[in-house]
Amino acid sequence: NRDERALRIATLDWEGLQAEAQACTACGLCKTRNKVVFGVGQPSTDWLVVGEAPGAEEDRQGEPFVGQAGKLLDNMLAAVGRSRQENVYILNTLKCRPPQNRNPQPDEMALCAPFLQRQVALIQPKVIFAVGRFAVQALLGRDASIASLRGQLHEYQGIPVVVSYHPAYLLRNLPDKIKAWQDLLLARKTLAERKAP
């Protein structure tokens, strides 16, 4: 049952977790997905980005944030010296694409949450940069506006969480990029303070 599955996932190592996700059939998204999108980057990083769910391009390639929103995310991260090739890990709340990019459903979120939990527990980042409403829901269990949550620190598994706008939203609302920039700086500052002796 569900609890046993969650407990088992919570004991897996990184390779075991990846294999479990690749073979997952816990929710209906396994019927329509092309690829499971586990995450990308350096699992040994101190900076973790959490997004929503794979889109069409991510579902094709098996890698998160490779479409238009992903380019913006990469540019944003590059501005604070971060890249998926070197020093950040990027993952989604849902590992499989919802058909037509519809919103994740509560049951899908609940069934995918053990993967997210275990990924964070194994990565042990020093800051989590959560973009968009569904990342916030998955990490903080809150359905509040990004505007009301950003600019302050939250917590997941004892790790500071900085909330920001989803890059797909920013593509449609360019003036809010300045706020996302402030959020990146808050994440960077949080990291610097956590590293200080």
- Residues interacting with ligand URA, by CB under 6 A? 51-55, 58, 64-65, 67, 69-70, 92, 168
C-beta closer to ligand URA: residue 5 or 140: 140
Compare residues 7 and 171 and give the one whose CB is closer to ligand URA.
171
Q: How, if at all, do strands 40-41 and 89-92 pair?
A: antiparallel
Residue 62 gets which letter from DSSP? Answer: T
Buried-state track 68-85, b at ≥16 Cβ within 10 A, e below 16: ebbebbbebbeeeebebe
Task: Give dist(CA 178, CA 174) in Å, integer.
Answer: 8
Which residues have CB under 8 Å from 156's CB, separation 6+?
A: 120, 128, 139, 140
Residue placing its CB nearer to ligand URA in the complex, 78 or 192: 78
Q: Residue 41 CB, nearest distance to ligand URA (Å)?
A: 12
Output 69 or 127, the one with its CB closest to ligand URA. 69
Residue nearest ligand URA by beta-carbon distance: 51
Q: How far is the CB of 69 from ligand URA (least distance, A)?
A: 5
The residues with which 49 forms a beta bridge, in sequence order, are 90, 129
C-beta of 86: minimal distance to ligand URA in Å?
19
The span from the CA of 91 to the CA of 174, in Å, is 24
The nearer residue to ligand URA, 10 or 32, going by C-beta atoms, is: 32
**Min dist. Cβ of residue 66 to ligand URA (A):** 7
Q: Residue 116 CB: number of other CB atoms within 10 A?
A: 21
In the complex, least distance from residue 88 CB atom to ligand URA, rounded to whole angstroms: 14
Q: How many CA atoms lie within 13 A of 111 on its CB side?
A: 17
